[in-house]
Each structure stands twice: as structure tokens, then as C-alpha cells.
Structure 1
Amino acid sequence: MSTIEKRANNALHANGNTVNGKSVAIAITTHGSDIYWAVCAVMVCATFAFLGLAATKPRQHRIFHYITAAITLVASIAYFSMGSNLGWTPIDVEFARGVGSGVHGVNREIFYVRYIDWFITTPLLLLDLLLTAALPWPTILFIIIVDEVMIVTGLVGALVRSSYKWGYFTFGCAALAWIVYVLVWEGRRHANVMGADIGKTFLLCGSLTAFLWTLYPIAWGVCEGGNVITPDSEAVFYGILDLLAKPVFGALLIWGHRGIDPARLGLNIHDYENDAQYSDKHYAGNGTSGVTTGTDGVANGTSGVNNGHAAGQTV
């Protein structure tokens, strides 16, 4: 056996196209697996890069590095699963296609692990953006809930065979429309008030996110929804979107935050080792305590004098 054969992608042989006794007809090939592995490698490298950049900053300034590294870390695990041909279930298709279409068969491989990834990473992406815009916490929490609705309805729709899946798709698109509105309008206006550099960073990263996220429903429609393109093409479509929406987005965001103190965004993060102001307050508190004790002593002495004076009066 040659060296090239030994290094060949063996994931589909190790993890076949049968789950719980049911085989799938429309599934990725080795080419699709290779694409998922390539995206996984980029996500892993991006995670280490973001953590490395975080190490160059004081701990009070690492919040955006950590959030962004968490995004690519979770995505790494999801793409590892998909590259390994794991984390999927066969779902009967609504639209059966002809033999020469490349998507011929009664059921299609649906990667539910992709939605687990999105359920965790898309709120973190929004947290990156909305904290950058310094939006109020109630707004941030509500948008994250709306985002979770979008992801869950997308997953449920992907797992439904009948035309009712498009009802879930509509709910998801409505949630996406509200998120895009907040990014394009409310978030942008709020970020501009916080400063020109903050506004510029939010405009760049927010516009990229709003544009890319509007392409995901199209990908869903031609993949899980309409069964139009092959699972290998699905790997390319989603893979490119995720690379732009996560590592590229993260690099632009961290670059934009290089001169922005989180305190300007209302993120007053303390670190007892590096925060001189906090340390000064700590030691000042101890000194004040000592002064208080001394004052108590003076008070006691005064009390003694008063007692002596009172005694003299009695005599």
C-alpha cells in the first residue's frame, strides 16, 4: 500500500451511511468530507491565533478575544464531526429528484450537529457585535433569544419531511429580519455615538454579518429544504459562509478592538493582579481601618478624661 493510500480520508469507511439501522441515499462523498476537514483545520488554527492574541493583552481587555475564540472552537468540533461523517440523521426528502440530478433518493443526510454549533456560536457572534455597540443589556438578551428561535426553527424545519417545514422556515426568516434590523439600524446608531473608532469597527463587522446571514436561508432552501444541490455542494456552500462569518469576522473584530478599551463600552472588568486602582483601594481600605482603630483609642481616652473630670466633680 502506498503512502498516499495510507493517508487517504477513511472517515466514510469508518463511519458508514447507516444510522439506527436506516441507510441514507443522498450523502456526502469523500470530497465533501475533505471539505469539512479543511474547514475544521482553519477553525482550529483561528482558535489558537485568537487565544495567542489574547495572551498579549491585559486580562481586562481579553473579553472579545475569548468570545471569538470560543466561536471557532465550537465550530472546530462541529466540522470535525461532519468531516468524520458523524452527527447526522437520514430524513426523507419532500422533493424527489431524477436519477441524473445527483440528489436522487428517498432520504437525505441532515447534519444536526451543524445546528448545535449555530445554537452556541451565533449568540456569541451577536454578543461580540452588540457589546461592541454598547447596546443595553435588555436589548442584547432579547436579540439572543430571537436568534435561538431562528436556529431552532431551522433545525425543526430540516427534520420535517412535509411542506410544513416551510412554516418553520418562515418563522426563522422573520427572526433573522429582526436581527438584521438591529444590526443595521439600532446597533449602528448606538456604536457611532460611542466613538468614531467604535462606529467604524461595528459598521465593518456588523455589515459583514448582516450580509452573510441573509445568505444562510438561501443555503438552507437549496440543501435541507428543497434538496436541490448535493451534500458535497452543501459542504462548500456552508463551509465558505462559516469561514467568512467566523474566522474572518473574528479577525476583523479583534483588529478593530486593538485600540478600544472595554471600559469605554461599559465593560468595567477588574483584575486584582493588574488593576492598580483596585489594589490601591484595597490597601487604602486597610490603612483606613488602622486610622479608625486609632480614632477609637482617642475616643476611649477622651472618655477617660471625661470620667476623671466627673470624678473630680464628685469629690
Structure 2
Amino acid sequence: MANDALDSNPPNATYHLSTHGSDWLWAAFSIFGVSLLAVVGLTFSRPRGSRLFHQIAVVVLTTGSLAYFSMASDLGATPVPVEFRGDGTRQIWYVRYINWFITFPLLLLELLLATGLSLSDIFTTLFMAVVLVITGLVAALVPSTYKWGYYVFGVAALFYIWYVYHRYVLLWHGPHTTFAAGGALRRGYLFAAGYLSLLLLIYPIAWACAEGGNVISVTSEMIWYGILDIFAGPIFLFFFLWELRGVDYASFGLHSGKYTDKSAFHPQTTQATGSPSTGAAGNV
């Protein structure tokens, strides 16, 4: 399949994806695809109104599957002149950054919604995740040494997430808040927070060796990022959803007031009371 993909979509840069790299990406795509099907099955096994965490996982795995299908097919890359390795161009995979733009904030959201933290704290954390991805993409597309300026901005955003939030919010403030689900998630939350914190610190190292410094080949880049994405995606999500299996969803306080409200199906209830109901159970 790798040969067919590279024949149909020939590499567009001097330093490009190899057949072995494409084989690995098809394997990673299979992992994401199978994980997606499993999580979809788990989602439908949950009662309506208690699927938020599972549906976030579905979005993450769907996005990852599409990204890895594109990269395995040698699509979603653009040539950029290399630095530190003479003349030539290197494939920069913008489809990977689209994937991260969607999935990184959602992975943090999956974790933070369990803590009972304020929306302002959660919003700032997610914004810094977006900054991290965007600066990485811009830096990868800049052929001059100015790319390292964007890299510094991205690393600063990462350390804001990790030190101020993953140390104060995730590893300190989060565990010491009143958890939305009480103490049921505390042990699993501490492990998940430390696990995700460590993975996030490895991504900039991979970037500096790949798109940044051109130290490793495109195939090695794919293997490194692929392993990180699998650990941060399917493995992290399955662990977190497993920890949620015995938690009462109502304890999270996630309400919608939409489709599961009785007033949504019985308009006469709204007319009788003069205002729509804001039921406790939400279709979130």
C-alpha cells in the first residue's frame, strides 16, 4: 500500500517520506481507526446525557485517523527550504498541525473538566495549547533562522501550560480542588496529569530535531511523532475513560437544558410555567 500511495502521490521535496515511513503511518492509522470504532461502541453503550467525555474522545480519534490517513497517503505536506543541511527542501506536514490544533485542546479539556476548575482557568489553558500548535506550524514553514523565534514563543506557551497549570493546576491546584466527581477520579487524575505533562514536554524536542534542525529524516520524524500521538491519543483516552467507568456522571454538574429537558418534548410544560425548564440532566 505504501508503494501505491507514493506512486500515486509522489513526494514533493528533497527530504521526503520513504516507503517504510508510509508503512508505519498506515499502521498508526489502523491503531487510530480501530480505537475510534471501539470508543464509538463505548459511547453508544452510555445513556444519553452522559456521553461528553466519550464524545470528546470520538472527535480526537476521528481527527487523528483523518490526519494519519492523509500522511500515510503522502498528502498534506508542503516543501520548505531546509536549514543546517545545505540546499534542498523538506516536507512539512501541515495536516499534522491541523490535527494537533483540534486534538491538543480537547485532550486538556477532557482532563480539566473532571477537576471542577473555573472556566477561566480552563479557557486560558486551552488557549495556550492553541498558541503552542500555531507557533509550531508557523516556525516549521519559515525557512530562515526566524523560525526559532516562533519556537521560543511556543515553548513559552508550553511551559505556561506545564509549569503554571500542569504544576499548579493539574499537579497541585487540580488535585486539591473539590473534584467534580468527588474523590473517585483523584488517583487516576494524578496519573493522567503527570503522564500528559511528560508527553507534552517531548513534542518540542521532536520538533527541534525534525522540522527545526533537520537532524533526523522525515521517516524518523513520522515514527517519533506517531509514537507520541498514539500515547497521547488512544492510550491516554482509553485509560481516562476506564477511570470514568464507575463515576456518576451527574456529579460532574454538566447540564445542557436542551434535548433531554422534558420541556423540549412537552411544550405545554413551558407554557404552564411561563419559562423553559432547566433540567438537571443534560444532553452533553
- C-alpha distance after superposition, 1:146-193 (max 9, x if no partner): 111111000000011111111100000010011113123213433443
Q: Is the 8 A contact 1:64 1:254 kept in 2?
A: yes
Q: Is the 8 A contact 2:2 2:23 kept in 1?
A: no
The 1:8–1:225 alpha-carbon spacing in structure 2 relative to 1, beyond 3 Å, is closer
The 1:225–1:284 alpha-carbon spacing in structure 2 relative to 1, beyond 3 Å, is same
Q: What's the secondary structure of 1:91's corresponding residue? A: strand
- How far 1:208 moved relative to its partner? 1.1
- How far 1:262 moved relative to its partner? 3.1
Q: What's the secondary structure of 1:90's corresponding residue? A: strand
- C-alpha distance after superposition, 1:76-127 (max 9, x if no partner): 0010110000100111111116xxxxxxx51111101100100011111111
Tell me the distance in 2 between the aligned counterparts of 1:287 and 1:115.
49
1:168 aligns with 2:150: yes
- How far 1:284 moved relative to its partner? 10
Instruction: Report the identity percentage.
Output: 42
- How far 1:207 moved relative to its partner? 1.2
Higher mean C-alpha displacement, 197-206 vs 160-169 = 197-206
Which residue of 1 is the match for residue 255 of structure 2?
Answer: 268
Tell me the distance in 2 between the aligned counterparts of 1:57 and 1:8.
38
The 1:286–1:123 alpha-carbon spacing in structure 2 relative to 1, beyond 3 Å, is closer
Structure 2 residue corresponding to 1:187, chosen from 149, 152, 170: 170
Q: Is the 8 A contact 1:60 1:271 kept in 2?
A: no
Which residue of 2 is the match for residue 14 of structure 1?
Answer: 8
Paired amino acid for 1:171: F
The 1:40–1:287 alpha-carbon spacing in structure 2 relative to 1, beyond 3 Å, is closer
Q: Is the 8 A contact 1:184 1:206 kept in 2?
A: no
1:86 aligns with 2:68: no
1:34 aligns with 2:44: no
Tell me the distance in 2 between the aligned counterparts of 1:190 and 1:234.
34
Tell me the distance in 1 between the aligned counterparts of 2:154 and 2:272.
58
Paired amino acid for 1:113: V
Q: Is the 8 A contact 1:92 1:161 kept in 2?
A: yes
Q: CA RMSD in A?
A: 2.3
Q: What's the secondary structure of 2:24's corresponding residue? A: helix
Which residue of 2 is the match for residue 128 of structure 1?
Answer: 110
Q: Any unmatched runs of 5+ in structure 1? A: 1-6, 19-23, 98-104, 290-315
State the aligned residue count: 267
Paired amino acid for 1:136: S
Which residue of 1 is the match for residue 204 of structure 2?
Answer: 217
Equivalences for residues 1-315 of structure 1 within 5 A: 9-18=3-12, 24-96=13-85, 106-181=88-163, 182-188=165-171, 189-192=173-176, 193-194=178-179, 195-269=182-256, 278=262, 285=269
- How far 1:57 moved relative to its partner? 1.0
Which residue of 2 is the match for residue 305 of structure 1?
Answer: none
- How far 1:40 moved relative to its partner? 0.7
Q: Which runs of 4+ in 1 moved over 6 A?
A: 286-289
TM-score with structure 1 setting the length: 0.79
Paired amino acid for 1:244: F
Q: What's the secondary structure of 1:64's corresponding residue? A: helix
Q: What's the secondary structure of 1:89's corresponding residue? A: strand
Q: What's the secondary structure of 1:60's corresponding residue? A: coil
Tell me the distance in 1 between the aligned counterparts of 2:244 and 2:256.
16
The 1:201–1:32 alpha-carbon spacing in structure 2 relative to 1, beyond 3 Å, is same
Q: What's the secondary structure of 1:59's corresponding residue? A: coil
